[in-house]
Chain A
């Protein structure tokens, strides 16, 4: 009884904060039971006593004595070994064999339906865990189809749910797990080094890995996380056998990229960026395919041969997120042999592990093996081996001293690489700019203006002051707009990536979605127009440009000096005239029009300006260029061809030669200057030579000098439009003498028209026939927009092709009386081209 009283009084007393009040309470309570007052007081004193043995967690390190409050004493944090013995569904954890960024790996015993030991991988708690199993289920069928001696099977997956705070769920959360064939092996790189395997032996073992990956790819399974720790080697009958583990796991664990996951994904990928392909490093989620595995295999082979990863492990682990992506995306890996030579003292060790002399090993790798590895690791996945089998086949070629498919980069190839890198930089800066636009509220206002809904917005704001409800609507509208603008921007950014990878169908599909999201903003139309232009889908490009201009795109900005011809080809005469008017308005008073504007003005059967004025302008432009040509050393032409400014000329001249920034998709000379060697020879696919290549988006220097061929062609066109046929023929003859000019086919339809007007029908027909064959060839190429030839932009600027079609149409109408067939053929070619892109 006494104890019960004592307990009741104590428990009430400790609820009282104030010490005096508490003492009074105790005194009052104990008044009718005087014997217990001192006992309660002693109890209260003991309660306050800090050094209570019960506060010391039993059998745990006493790191923080005194930290623990009596009522907050918690079960000590479990250590990893605590999980052993636990049952996860029907698997009993036996022994921990690994730990990684994703979670823990155990040997587990399965009792039924068959008794066997398996590997059980339990995933760390995370936000995306709910989807892990769903993603795994989606791929389960494909995983079950895989049956290959070099692939560890994945048996099962599930979610472990522990109701108590058990050792595996310290946070009490659900944790997905995977059950796999147990492979007791060591990572392939470690095995090869430990066994001192020679290079040919290593290649043989690696080929088996390729075979495994090929098998998986054929079953539609991509690994996504190939690295040494996922390629284990065991020994069977004295022979090493490689086993690829974790197929299907990376995909299930992987999460979609969102702003909130980007940081965590960055950290969870820390272990693997060394083996990650550029497209994976982009982390756009959906963009991984079998070629990403080829890349990772390339890195793996690199390490097997050179004993070191292509990019420095330490550097990769200390680089920031953006730096990491940049390295993976942009930095060319050194050749394995070069990397070896740079190893210094380590070279001896690496060579010894391969049974080679330190002096011999680099030369052993030089050539074939360097090229093979770098081909597999190409930044552009289109240039990697198309399959793991092809990769292995090329290794066999090397082992049998046959020529390998992987070739050393040619000079042209290097130049292309350079311009590609440059383009990436341009795209990047473009993306940053777009992102900024999307992010800034200030820009939102500008865009509202751009949409042409300014009045509506103003009205909405007015009403907002009047009525609160409407203000909310207006705000929501702006938010919706910002949201869809952000989405559209992301789509466009991803379309850039697709275009870089020459996945034009995907790129176009994304552009279409971007336009659908933001149909009232000209930028989306402009972006899609430029992609259409690159694919030679001129009718679509023209429609997009026309829409963009209607929505207020700056006339001389995105329009470009060759835009009128595009409108004309589409039969949109009104757009042609207004685009030309806008361009003409940019010519300063008393100034000379650029060759591109003149060309645009003269291309129409009924020129967009007075023909006499155009002839006068053309003649003056020609005179101007002939004078300045004398001052220009040929070096300038070469540099201009390469798209680099010539710094040798005095500043006042440089103004005239300034090259406008290239837009992303528009044709034009490749920018940048190769570090060594000359550029591609004239007439090569490298790009158009000069300023007659139209661009969009830059402030074109009006006095940019065109090559003689173009000058004479335009001059002759001006003469022809003025009925000065002899003079026209003279100029065109001179144009033909410019060997570097690739627009010679333009002269055929012009000659046909001219001879027809002179009454020489025989000559006219002959010229028309020659023109028709050029046009036929062009039309057939137009149908396959993604063929190599087409992506090389017909070995010339698109404006040449557009002009050819326009002039041929003009000639047909003159000589035959109708161009309906051509128009139909052109429409068909464009339609079928889009069809081939998947539309």
Chain B
């Protein structure tokens, strides 16, 4: 497994676009597995930190053989953040389906229960808005993925995207306002 990922990362570095697509399933699977394991061992009142989960996934996937290669790390985070977003959104969808289905009994959702505290509806709305942003400004959307869904810091995000922290801050302000505007325009009660 760790050999695979190293090769994939190498391919990503060499500019192989397909490799990125290969990376995501691995990251996604590993993150899901980790989240499930966490759920089993954590006290119920403890929440998981996305950063920790991603860091951990990274360590596991690489098996600690190349932990200091930042390039590999950057690509990894890019893939992982997408995976994190997918996990969270999937979970929110599942829950909101259950709510609409009127399930009265509390259902154990195992792996991703405690991952989400943001109200599911809002999260799904945000995801929709993010998809729109993606179509207009993919870089800004990636930024949101990294910072919001993965919990990277400004500096970490900057390194992952290969831009300056100042650019990250400015883009973040823009993406944040853009998403807010989008959400408000969908809400009939907010803006006339």
Using a CB–CB distance below 8 Å, which chain A residues touch chain B? Answer: 3, 7, 10-11, 14, 42-47, 49, 52-62, 70-71, 73-76, 78-79, 81-82, 84-87, 90, 92, 163-167
Contacts and interface: CB of A to CB of B under 8 A. Distances in A.
A11 B68 CA distance: 35
20 contacts: A3-B136, A11-B173, A11-B174, A14-B173, A53-B179, A57-B151, A58-B116, A59-B88, A59-B118, A70-B173, A71-B169, A73-B147, A76-B49, A76-B51, A79-B49, A79-B52, A82-B52, A87-B59, A87-B67, A92-B64
Given A53-B122, A85-B56, A59 B50 contact: yes
A43, A79, A92, A164: most-surrounded residue (chain B CB, <10 A): A164
Nearest to A62: B117
A167 B170 CA distance: 27
A348 B153 CA distance: 58
- Chain B residues touching A, range: 35 or more
Contacts of B177: 10, 43-44, 46-47
A164 B156 contact: yes
Closest 5 CB pairs of A and B: A87-B64, A46-B180, A82-B52, A47-B177, A46-B181
Contacts of B117: 58-62
Contact of A74 (B41, B153, B174, B175): B153
Contacts of B55: 82, 86, 164, 166-167
Contacts of B51: 75-76, 78
A165 B185 CA distance: 37
A462 to B, nearest CB: 59
B151 A42 contact: no
Given A74-B153, A75-B151, A47 B49 contact: no
A163 B177 CA distance: 32
Nearest to B180: A46
B49 A78 contact: yes
Nearest to A72: B154
A52 B180 contact: yes
B144 A58 contact: no
Nearest to A42: B181
Contacts of B50: 58-59
Nearest to A161: B68
A76 B53 CA distance: 12
B19 interface: no
A58 B52 contact: no
Contact of A54 (B60, B153, B179): B179
A49 B181 CA distance: 9
A55 B151 CA distance: 12
A163 B46 contact: no
Contacts of A54: 126, 144, 147-148, 175-176, 179-180
Contacts of B47: 59-61
Does more than half of chain B's interface fall in helix, strand or loop, or is it mixed?
A: helix
Interface string B150-166: 01111010000000000
B152 to A, nearest CB: 7
A42 B191 contact: yes
B60 A85 contact: yes
Contacts of A49: 180, 184
B26 interface: no
A58 B118 contact: yes
B181 A59 contact: no
B164 to A, nearest CB: 13
A163 B172 contact: no
Contacts of B88: 58-59
Given A59-B117, A59-B118, A87-B59, 20 more contacts: A3-B137, A10-B177, A11-B170, A43-B181, A46-B181, A58-B118, A58-B149, A59-B116, A60-B117, A70-B176, A71-B154, A75-B51, A75-B152, A75-B153, A78-B51, A79-B49, A82-B52, A87-B67, A90-B64, A163-B70
A396 B184 CA distance: 83
Nearest to A48: B177
B63 to A, nearest CB: 8
B174 A53 contact: no
B49 A59 contact: yes
A166 B59 CA distance: 11
A78 B153 CA distance: 13
A86 to B, nearest CB: 6
Contacts of B115: 59
B153 A70 contact: no
A79 B176 CA distance: 28
Interface in B104-139: 114-118, 122, 126, 136-137
A117 B152 CA distance: 32
B36 interface: no
Interface in B22-78: 41-42, 46-52, 55-56, 59-60, 64, 67-68, 70
A82 B67 contact: no
Nearest to B136: A3
A47 B176 contact: yes
Nearest to B156: A164
Nearest to B165: A71
Contacts of A82: 49, 52, 55-56
Given A85-B60, A164-B156, A71 B48 contact: no
Given A54-B144, A58-B88, A46 B178 contact: yes
B52 A71 contact: no
B101 to A, nearest CB: 24
Contacts of A81: 41-42, 46
A90 B65 CA distance: 9
